[in-house]
Structure 1
Amino acid sequence: MNVIITGISGFVGQNLSRYLEENNCNITGLSLRNNWKLTANQDALIHLAGKAHDTANTSADEEYFKINTDLTKKLFNEFLQSDIRDFIYFSSVKASADIVEGILDEDHVSDPKTPYGKSKLLAEQYLLSKDLPKDKRLFIIRPCMIHGPGNKGNLNLLYKIVEKGIPWPLASFHNQRSFLSIDNLNFLILQIIENKNIKSGIYNFADDEFISTNQLIKIISQVSGIKCRLWNVPTGLISSVAKLGDKIKIPLNSERLKKLTESYAVSNKKIKRALNIINLPVSAEEGLIKTIKSFQSK
């Protein structure tokens, strides 16, 4: 199996390419920064490259559309003219919704509010608008928050808070969130490119179980061997502090508070039905424990 990957130097790209190579795939990285062209005799093109959501809100809107939308259009047009069978586009659940009530599935009417989400959705809409030859497949992947050893982000921030013995002051916020272990992501992509019976379409990627932030704090405490300290500070007070963080530089702002406390439950039933499986290889808790343990070695 010959596979091209854009964004191969990123966290997902490094892990995915290594995993596919271990499973008898020949991997070619493709940089889209300068002049590029698709090579012949390839089976799948995995498009990971893109501009990630900037939680500090310092990026210009046009940057998202230039990279996430326009570049994806150009790459897909080249794919249509090539002999490559599969195009796998890594979009985001944020292309569907910024706020989730209930459980998000692929039938949800997309209504993103941020430039990031809008740029991803516009790319999706363009891909779906094109006539796809019968011998080709298009997969639009919408992953939720991806994590794994070597990945930095809010999980690492939470780990540092627990490690330092700082009480978690947001315990009064009750939520249910979906995560995606890099191990489950790798497994799903390999299944897609190996199984020719899976139909084109949009697929959410998420672990099987939902985890609350309070549960996550407890898991981190258990792994770290540190007493779990959950403080139920009134939500109104926390929100006021976050608004202050929007104006001056402090660890908490409204965007970060939203990410840490909002509910965002994502269904992965569609992809599991397509693969005819009941569970993914790694449970949500197992994946989180693996990621958290990786923080301890640093």
Structure 2
Amino acid sequence: MSHKVFLTGASGFVGSAILRRLVADGTPVVAAVRQGSVAPSALVRCVQFRSFEENNDWDGALAGCDVVVHSAARVHVMNDTESDPLAAFRRVNVEGTLTLARQAVAAGVKRFVFISSIKVNGEGTQPGRPFSASDTPQPQDPYGVSKLEAERALLALAHESGLEVVIVRPVLVYGPGVKANFLNMMRWLDRGIPLPFGAIHNRRSLVALDNLVDLIVTCIGHEAAANQVFLVSDAEDLSTSELLIRMGQALGRPARLLPVPAGFLSAAAKALGKEGLAQRLCGSLQVNIEKTRDLLGWYPPVTVDTALEAAAKHYQEYDKK
């Protein structure tokens, strides 16, 4: 069955990749982009917005669409300057999402695919005890709380209206054009900087951008996806040291790792006020994607090494400084 998709966040890291895939597949798309952004494709109709809050009018953009893929969000930031971060996250991630969903129902949209976050589950796991889609949510920060509240509001709307809601909770997404800590790690490796992660034996689930996009596209039309929550990863968990070694191989710059004990790194990070960064580099966060595989017949089409090579190539061509 052919679908017409309304896609939010179409100029973002994940949204732009979804758009490229939909265009390549020949799927009709209406793309919402932040005002001032360059139109992501001449092949799709674009609508612009100032900020994704509760006061947007999407009626005209939604006309004729039967699926919404909502990837726009106020994203997690390391040093939030808002006086009330939770209120700021709620305005965009909860009220803005629910306004869009209600207007989608009124416009006759049948399915709403919501890109949430693994932060709904929590910040970390014990090795060998991964998060699953059925776990009781335990968000630890305002971003995770706002995503959980949005999920619950959407599922309540689904119950009231018959709208089919699909929730996808990605782990850390990497790929061509990735920013933040992942980009920093590539720069460290490229410059040959010795890194103190040779004794880190944690387990982290990651998801390549192409794998996440493939699952989202699957969720657009798969009957079994309706009103379900899915976790997504590459199905291969790595320690920080393993990730750096394989990233270095992709860059052609062997990782120089020093065997500094994890306890020492955690204590140093705490003293510097960088506990969150230490958790991401030294702690474990694994997810179980059995439900995603069993219910949808989906398995990640791209391997970790292939995805790292694509990220490294983009870095060397566009992001290297």
Q: TM-score, normalised by structure 1?
A: 0.91
For 2:317, the equivalent position in structure 1 comes to: 297
For 1:257, the equivalent position in structure 2 comes to: 278
Number of equivalences: 291
For 2:254, the equivalent position in structure 1 comes to: 227
C-alpha RMSD of matched pairs (Å): 1.9
Using the alignment, how far apart are the partners of 1:265 and 1:114 within structure 2?
18
Aligned with residue 142 of structure 1, among 169, 178, 182: 169
Using the alignment, how far apart are the partners of 1:185 and 1:48 within structure 2?
12
Aligned partner of residue 41 in structure 1, secondary structure: coil
Alignment pair present for 1:91 and 2:116: yes
Alignment pair present for 1:53 and 2:76: yes
Residue pair 1:148, 1:288 contacting (<8 A) in 2 also: yes
Offset from partner CA, 1:167-204 (integer Å, 9 cap, x none)? 12022222111111111112112222233343321111
Aligned partner of residue 87 in structure 1, secondary structure: strand
For 1:206, the equivalent position in structure 2 comes to: 233
Aligned partner of residue 127 in structure 1, secondary structure: helix
Alignment pair present for 1:125 and 2:152: yes
Offset from partner CA, 1:241-296 (integer Å, 9 cap, x none)? 323432xxxxxx2222222222111122212212224x321122322232122212
CA distance 1:200–1:35, change in 2 (3 Å):
closer
- Residue type at the aligned position of 2:230: Y
Residue pair 2:86, 2:146 contacting (<8 A) in 1 also: no
Query: Aligned-pair distance for 1:142?
Result: 0.5
Alignment pair present for 1:70 and 2:95: yes
Aligned partner of residue 237 in structure 1, secondary structure: helix
Aligned partner of residue 140 in structure 1, secondary structure: strand
Q: Which moved more, 1:10-19 or 1:51-60?
A: 51-60
Alignment pair present for 1:283 and 2:283: no
For 2:40, the equivalent position in structure 1 comes to: none
Residue pair 2:203, 2:285 contacting (<8 A) in 1 also: yes
- Residue type at the aligned position of 2:206: F
Aligned partner of residue 138 in structure 2, secondary structure: coil
Aligned partner of residue 266 in structure 1, secondary structure: coil
Aligned partner of residue 30 in structure 2, secondary structure: strand
Alignment pair present for 1:196 and 2:223: yes
Using the alignment, how far apart are the partners of 2:253 and 2:58 within structure 1?
52
Using the alignment, how far apart are the partners of 1:135 and 1:113 within structure 2?
31
Residue pair 2:155, 2:227 contacting (<8 A) in 1 also: no
Query: Aligned-pair distance for 1:104?
Result: 0.8
Query: Aligned-pair distance for 1:134?
Result: 8.0
- Residue type at the aligned position of 2:207: L
For 1:250, the equivalent position in structure 2 comes to: none
Residue pair 1:47, 1:90 contacting (<8 A) in 2 also: yes
CA distance 1:189–1:12, change in 2 (3 Å):
same
Residue pair 1:210, 1:284 contacting (<8 A) in 2 also: no
Aligned with residue 22 of structure 1, among 9, 24, 44: 24
Using the alignment, how far apart are the partners of 1:35 and 1:113 within structure 2?
29
Q: Which moved more, 1:38-47 or 1:127-136?
A: 127-136
Aligned partner of residue 125 in structure 2, secondary structure: coil
Using the alignment, how far apart are the partners of 1:159 and 1:203 within structure 2?
29
